[in-house]
């Protein structure tokens, strides 16, 4: 059986799960815990050194360690219309690349807010942490968020600049989708990249990705929420119909 290692709240993981689910590729989902889970992740990724990240798809024949590659793999496993049609391959790859700076920026802004809130830190502890111990384990979550801030730092990480990076990507997405249902003629991975990136402005309903209230608050960007309200509506309807 395939296994997908991921982090439930991460847009990269959500993209990969969406592509696999869309094509009905079976897999067992395994939640990854930053830092604590790293030795095992390295082993499973076959990468003893350098950066390791999730999502990681482990199939009987290969390890696919990138959300775009997982979408391409899912297409190959299915007879359905592809999410990365050959005619739009380069453009879709380009969408994933341009989302990267926005998502890196969003991660820094949200992680800083999480680090400043003991409630949000307690919320981010692994699901198996007993409720009674959550408060006591907050320092561990603090260390893990510090690790994420260092691992994914950007050269210019001024809060305003980070917000600008996000704004630029969502502006591009908004223009591409204005008056359209999809970026291309049918649902593609470009739509999935944009819809899942919206998690950085206002998270999708809990029935799709469950978040505790403190985490949800840290993941909202009120200024962008107002500006991109039509994109949020679009995201919600794409989720309703295709997720």
For the chain, what percentages of helix, strand and coil (3-state, to nearest 5) are there? 60, 5, 35
Shortest approach of ligand GSH to residue 65 CB, angstroms?
Answer: 7
d(CA 174, CA 151) in angstroms, rounded, equals 30
**8 Å CB contact between 65 and 53:** yes
Residues 64-93 that bind ligand GSH (CB under 6 A): 66-68
Q: Which of 4, 5, 10, 122 binds ligand GSH (CB under 6 A)?
A: 10
Q: Which of 24, 28, 135, 151 binds ligand GSH (CB under 6 A)?
A: 151
Nearer residue to ligand GSH within complex by CB, 151 or 233 = 151
d(CA 186, CA 182) in angstroms, rounded, equals 6
Q: Which stretch binds ligand GSH (CB under 6 A): 17-25, 62-70, 211-219, 233-241?
A: 62-70
Strand (E) or helix (H) holding 138:
helix 138-151
- Contact flag: residue 7 with ligand GSH (CB under 6 A): yes
- Contact flag: residue 55 with ligand GSH (CB under 6 A): yes
**8 Å CB contact between 70 and 144:** no
Residues of this chain that bind ligand GSH (CB under 6 A): 7, 10, 12, 34, 53-55, 66-68, 107, 151
């Amino acid at each position: 059986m395939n296994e997908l290692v991921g982090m439930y709240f991460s847009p990269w993981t959500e993209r990969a799960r969406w592509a696999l689910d869309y094509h009905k590729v079976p897999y067992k989902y395994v939640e990854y815990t930053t830092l604590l889970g790293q030795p095992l992740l390295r082993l499973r990724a076959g990468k003893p050194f350098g950066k390791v990240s999730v999502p990681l798809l482990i199939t009987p024949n290969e390890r696919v360690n990138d959300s775009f590659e997982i979408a391409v793999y899912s297409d190959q496993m299915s007879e359905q219309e592809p999410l990365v049609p050959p005619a739009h391959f380069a453009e879709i790859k380009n969408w994933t690349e341009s989302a990267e700076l926005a998502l890196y920026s969003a991660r820094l802004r949200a992680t800083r807010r999480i680090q400043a809130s003991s409630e949000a830190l307690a919320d981010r502890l692994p699901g198996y942490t007993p409720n009674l111990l959550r408060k006591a384990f907050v320092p561990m979550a603090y260390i893990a968020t510090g690790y994420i801030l260092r691992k994914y730092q950007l050269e210019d990480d001024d809060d305003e600049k980070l917000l600008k990076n996000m704004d630029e990507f969502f502006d591009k997405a908004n223009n591409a989708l204005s008056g359209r249902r999809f970026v291309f003629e049918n649902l593609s991975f470009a739509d999935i990249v944009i819809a899942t990136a919206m998690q950085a402005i206002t998270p999708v309903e809990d029935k799709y990705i469950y978040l505790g209230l403190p985490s949800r608050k840290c993941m909202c960007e009120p200024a962008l929420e107002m500006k991109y309200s039509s994109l949020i509506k679009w995201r919600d309807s794409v989720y309703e119909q295709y997720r």
